[in-house]
Structure 1
Amino acid sequence: MNDEFKKGVGPKKLSYGELAHSTNNFAEEEKLGEGGFGGVYRGFLRELDSYVAVKRVSRGSKQGLKECASEVKIISRLRHKNLMQLIGWCHEKNELLLIYEFMPNGSLDSHLFKGKSLLTWALRYKIVHDLASALLYLHEEWEQCVLHRDIKSSNIMLDLNFNAKVGDFGLARLVHHEKGSQTTLLAGTLGYMAPECVITGKSSKESDEYSFGIVALEIACGRKSIDVRAPETQSRLAEWVWDLYGTGKLLEAVDPKLCANFDEQEIKCLMIIGLCCAHPDYNLRPSIRQAIHVLNFEAPLPILPSKMLVPTYFAPDPIVSESSQIHYPSYGDNTDSSKFTISSINSSPSASLLYTR
């Protein structure tokens, strides 16, 4: 693994002792969060004279090691103001540690759903633009197309000035621009995963755009993509907002915590582009560049059907191998536990996806 990490440019190799000292020996009071791979700790590096976030991969976590190796190989080569910067790494004492720039304002979901602070409408609209800018870079502006495959509110971090930066590239994959998609292990998070991914296992720019659409709706509405505590008709955010759109009551979905302090034209625009990007039919989703043009009011608002299309699958029951691992979602505070992967799935090549109203 050391050989793989050294191929990256930019991140610096740091010693275990230095990182242990910086985090007060990984003290519980320095823990910023916990994921399926292990914990993330705040540390202070004297050499940089700044705080950092240290991701400590649990010993024996094969999935965590694989994801972190993928993350290092991809993110160490990317340079964009709206992507989390990987500062360094350490692989000693059977420990793997990744060091990132410290994000003082934490993750977007902690503000939207956990009451860390009330994000003003101006900040929310800026965060959407930051996320869109990051995705445009990943999809179109780098030497290869980068499919993130796990865009969600908990993977969007906020710096001191509430600039948004996309993190967690453990599930990311590289594809050629002309190809633009990849059939691989099914991976993502329930509520943010595009419907076609579930049946085909195929990731694409369009599936990232679906996730972007869901996050856009969360930002406007202040509600999770799936909320089991909400009334049944409102439990799935995109379906509920689409119903309100179809009946001309779109503003009823706006986050009540904003107390009507928002730009009505901007918030309608955000919700409509969110619905467009989260369209069940991937052929009808706009590219991220097209979405940016709409958000900048450089293109007209799309007109959607009054009712959301419902994906209907026609395929034999999939045969999931014994080696498959499926992690079902948790609706508690630990959003990382809702990530799931299926290591192998076999289904008929004639499996089809139709849409009905």
Structure 2
Amino acid sequence: MSLNSLWESFLSGAEAEVRRFSLNELQIATQNFSDSYIISSADKNVFYRGVLTSSLKEVTVKKVDVLNADKTSEGWEVELSVLLRIRHPNIIKLHGFGAVEESRFLVYDYFPNHSLYHYLASDDHILSWEQRFTMIFGLAEGLKYLHQLQPPIILNNFNSSVILLKSCMMSEFCDTYSFGIVLMEILSGRSASRPVGEKSLKEEFIEAYFSDREAEFLDNRLVFSVAARAILDICYFVTGAGNSSITMELVLIKLRSIMDGRTGR
């Protein structure tokens, strides 16, 4: 679908705050894409901090280099088409987009420099169990919302370092399984990304889970939590073999049951 077709198909139900930005507007917002405004970069994507002159609102501007890269342009269009459809408090808000011959842009709510894993691994600011439980619920609610849209939206790279919307051709189970891996990262404070040949985080989890050493898998920088231990059962529930029928709705039911028991409700 062309860029104009995407925009025209959205206009009938569009919200006023989602709009198409000119290159000049984005250049002004980012001080002409100044290096000092770069938040992070990966592959052909560069994320800039920006300030919209019309509202003085701080935003993140994602710049995608699509010169001689048809697949990159196609991926950007898929991401845009998805973001134009969603409105949820746990999913980053799209303010607009822009396009020139060699580049494509997406304008989101401003988000901080560091990924979820950065905060999990940081010794300077250790996330409490309460903060981690809040994250888990937010992630689960966001995924459930995407899966219940018609047609469903499936994420093709759901992890603690970055979440990219690349394709809608994956199974819902792929997201649910990945959610289980992210849970392991949140509960252990360790990354699932490992060098080739090194034991995976899931292997470490399975070893601990089946040898009654679950407490050793949990982040040892925090006092043991019964609720965190119970959530490890969900990790196994969604990443175990033969569980392709599990949905995020079922996961949320189990999470609420654990939290209700924790608060005595």
Question: Under a length normalisation based on structure 1, what TM-score does the superposition of the two structures give?
Answer: 0.65
Aligned residues: 253
* Aligned residues of 2:59 and 2:108 also touching (Cα < 8 A): yes
Partner of 2:3: 2
- Taking the aligned partners of 1:85 and 1:116, their CA distance within structure 2 comes to 29
What is the one-letter code of the residue matched to 1:206? Answer: F
* Aligned residues of 2:120 and 2:127 also touching (Cα < 8 A): yes
What is the one-letter code of the residue matched to 2:177? Answer: Y
- 1:132-167 CA distances to partner (integer Å, 9 max, x unpaired)? 001111112x23211112111123xxxxxxxxxxx5
- Taking the aligned partners of 2:127 and 2:36, their CA distance within structure 1 comes to 26
Q: 1:121 to 1:55 in 2, by over 3 A?
A: same
Which of residues 97, 103, 106 in structure 1 aligns to 2:111? 103
Which of residues 145, 150, 157 in structure 2 aligns to 1:150? 157
1:40: how far off?
Answer: 0.5
1:38: how far off?
Answer: 2.1
* Aligned residues of 1:139 and 1:145 also touching (Cα < 8 A): yes
Q: 1:216 to 1:298 in 2, by over 3 A?
A: closer
1:288: how far off?
Answer: 1.2
Whichever structure has more helix as a proportion of its residues is: 2
Matched, 1:240 2:204: yes
* Aligned residues of 1:38 and 1:57 also touching (Cα < 8 A): yes
- Judge which range, 208-217 or 118-127, deviates more: 118-127
Partner of 2:192: 225
Counterpart secondary structure, 2:192: coil
Which consecutive segments of 4 or more residues in structure 1 shift more than 6 A? 298-301
Counterpart secondary structure, 1:286: coil
Q: What does 1:263-282 correspond to in 2, within 5 Å? A: 264-282=225-243
Question: Under a length normalisation based on structure 2, what TM-score does the superposition of the two structures give?
Answer: 0.87
- Taking the aligned partners of 2:55 and 2:151, their CA distance within structure 1 comes to 31
- Judge which range, 219-228 or 123-132, deviates more: 219-228
Matched, 1:55 2:62: yes
Partner of 1:129: 137
Matched, 1:172 2:180: no
Matched, 1:208 2:215: no
1:114: how far off?
Answer: 5.5
Aligned-pair identity in percent equals: 24
* Aligned residues of 2:64 and 2:103 also touching (Cα < 8 A): yes
- Taking the aligned partners of 1:168 and 1:248, their CA distance within structure 2 comes to 36
Matched, 1:68 2:81: no
- Taking the aligned partners of 1:82 and 1:300, their CA distance within structure 2 comes to 21
Q: 1:48 to 1:168 in 2, by over 3 A?
A: farther
Q: Which runs of 5+ in 1 are unaligned?
A: 156-166, 174-181, 183-202, 302-357
1:5: how far off?
Answer: 3.5
1:105: how far off?
Answer: 6.3
* Aligned residues of 2:230 and 2:258 also touching (Cα < 8 A): no
- Taking the aligned partners of 2:145 and 2:161, their CA distance within structure 1 comes to 20
User: Pairwise CA RMSD of aligned residues?
Assistant: 2.4
- Taking the aligned partners of 2:153 and 2:121, their CA distance within structure 1 comes to 28
* Aligned residues of 1:30 and 1:41 also touching (Cα < 8 A): yes
Q: Which runs of 5+ in 2 are unaligned?
A: none
Which of residues 280, 291, 297 in structure 1 aligns to 2:257? 297
Which of residues 13, 20, 42 in structure 1 aligns to 2:20? 13
Q: 1:300 to 1:13 in 2, by over 3 A?
A: closer
Whichever structure has more strand as a proportion of its residues is: 1
Partner of 2:92: 84
* Aligned residues of 1:293 and 1:299 also touching (Cα < 8 A): no
Partner of 1:23: 30
Partner of 1:316: none
Matched, 1:252 2:216: yes
* Aligned residues of 2:237 and 2:243 also touching (Cα < 8 A): no
- Taking the aligned partners of 1:115 and 1:4, their CA distance within structure 2 comes to 48
What is the one-letter code of the residue matched to 1:225? Answer: A
- Taking the aligned partners of 1:106 and 1:5, their CA distance within structure 2 comes to 31
